Amino acid sequence: MADYARNRMFFASSTTLMLVVAGYMSLSLFWHDPVPVIWRIPLTILLFIISQTITGMRVLITKRPDLPFLLVRTGGFISSSFMVLSWLVLLRDLLLALGFLAVLLLPCMTGAEEKMFSAMLSIPAELVMLAASLIAASIGMTRALAVPDVKSVEIPVRGLPRDLDGLKVAHLSDLHIGSTFTGKWLEEVVQRTNALEPDFTLITGDLADGTPDRIGTLVHPITELRARYDVVISVGNHDYYSGLRPWVETWRRWGMTVLLNSHREYDVRGRNVVIAAVTDPCAVLFRSLDGEMGAPDVRRALDGADEGLRILMSHRPGQAEQNAALGCHLQLSGHTHGGQFFFLFPLVSRLNGGFRSGLYKAGSMPLYVSPGTGMWGYVPMRLGVGAEITLIILRSAADAGRAEKEETH
């Protein structure tokens, strides 16, 4: 419980934001003709209750760790539908606002526009929006909860020695095991990843949602991941929310490599490969954590590393250009979930330094942002972006040209 108590900021901000959204939606959907006056207050109360599904589910899961997955997914379906409906309401209101503006500015309008406005505000139109939200949430959830396909990406790395050309890195991120995905789902992800026969498997954070006591057995299949040289875990904000110290101790007890503002070096085909990882900026919210678990520090992570190929694992992509300047050759990140819904793409990009999903150039360094292998369980929906198990194949400069064609933004 203590770990969740530290997470009060999440509850406060999500509750407030959703109440504001519900208030706006209520005004827009219910408080106008022809919605009968007698319906307005009950519908408004219902919408305010629905708006708290995300927070409610999180509280419930904290208090009842054995909550059935069916119930969790029902909550996820409600929150996903609410999210799509809010976007449709906003879209309709923007169209109405544009229509009103046109009437004001164009005196030659015929009067037919009033019928159009009435049709857009009618009860059938609002029922259509509701039905569209439910259908979109169903499609988005089906897509989000499936075992993701493998996506192969060739990444050119400047100065990569010929000996390391073709090095295979399986990149997993944002698995969020605990509230949405079953142990069976993770077992299939592990199988598909191992089938790639990677040299390294790198997991860039948000591995668990919940404490080791509660979901340790669900997360345990990660110990079955196999790679020629190593399987490495770095941490994301959700790992802090779930209680970082117990997770790090658990993963290390399981024999996993966990890097926290540190690196490890590997002799690969006679060359030195440095895998480094930083922590997450949300570390500053947890004052009891310092040292290796404190704020991200790339210099500290690379301190003492010999020359060689330097791959940085950083849950968030936003600082990629600065990391390139510090001597990293490739950065792997996640955190964005690819924006999750197409109407959030611009916002998610903006919040993450312009990086959302796929391959980017940050200075001279390639940055790959995974859209996530799993996803956050309280809005388990993807629209316009899929999950993936990423197979990254490194290419030396001479072979690099073809790699940039599809993926680079």
Binding site for Fe ion (CB under 5 A): 174, 206
* Smallest gap from residue 370 Cβ to Fe ion (A): 10
Which residue, among 17, 50, 128, 133, has the nearest Cα to 85 in the 3D structure? 133
Nearer to Fe ion, 201 or 336 (CB): 336
Rounded Cα distance between 293 and 404, Å, is 35
* Smallest gap from residue 41 Cβ to Fe ion (A): 38
Nearer to Fe ion, 26 or 336 (CB): 336
* Smallest gap from residue 13 Cβ to Fe ion (A): 16
Nearer to Fe ion, 156 or 296 (CB): 296
* Smallest gap from residue 343 Cβ to Fe ion (A): 19
* Smallest gap from residue 3 Cβ to Fe ion (A): 17
Which residue, among 84, 122, 85, 120, has the nearest Cα to 99 in the 3D structure? 120
Nearer to Fe ion, 3 or 206 (CB): 206
| Contacting residues for 4 by C-beta, under 8 A, at least 6 apart | 62, 241
* Smallest gap from residue 236 Cβ to Fe ion (A): 6
CA end-to-end distance (rounded Å), the chain: 42
Rounded Cα distance between 151 and 406, Å, is 12
**Cis preceding linkage at 221, omega within 30:** no
Rounded Cα distance between 278 and 260, Å, is 6
Nearer to Fe ion, 154 or 174 (CB): 174
Strands (E), 111-199: 150-156, 168-172
Question: Which contiguous run of DSSP H or E holds residue 392?
Answer: strand 389-395
Nearer to Fe ion, 89 or 385 (CB): 385
* Smallest gap from residue 147 Cβ to Fe ion (A): 18
Nearer to Fe ion, 366 or 371 (CB): 371
Nearer to Fe ion, 126 or 206 (CB): 206
Tokens of 183: 């142990």
- The stretches of 178-289 forming alpha helices (DSSP H) are 183-194, 212-219, 237-241, 244-253
* Smallest gap from residue 335 Cβ to Fe ion (A): 6
Tokens of 329: 């050759």
Nearer to Fe ion, 206 or 388 (CB): 206
What's the one-letter identity of residue 16? T
* Smallest gap from residue 173 Cβ to Fe ion (A): 7
Cα separation values, 321 from 312, 317, 355, 366, Å: 12, 9, 11, 10
Residue 288, classified by CB atoms within 10 Å of its CB into exposed (0-12), middle (13-18) or buried (19+), is: exposed
Torsion of CA 330, 332, 338, 339, to 10 degrees: -100
* Smallest gap from residue 341 Cβ to Fe ion (A): 14
Nearer to Fe ion, 156 or 353 (CB): 353
Rounded Cα distance between 133 and 229, Å, is 46
Give the distance from CA 233 to its chain's centroid: 16
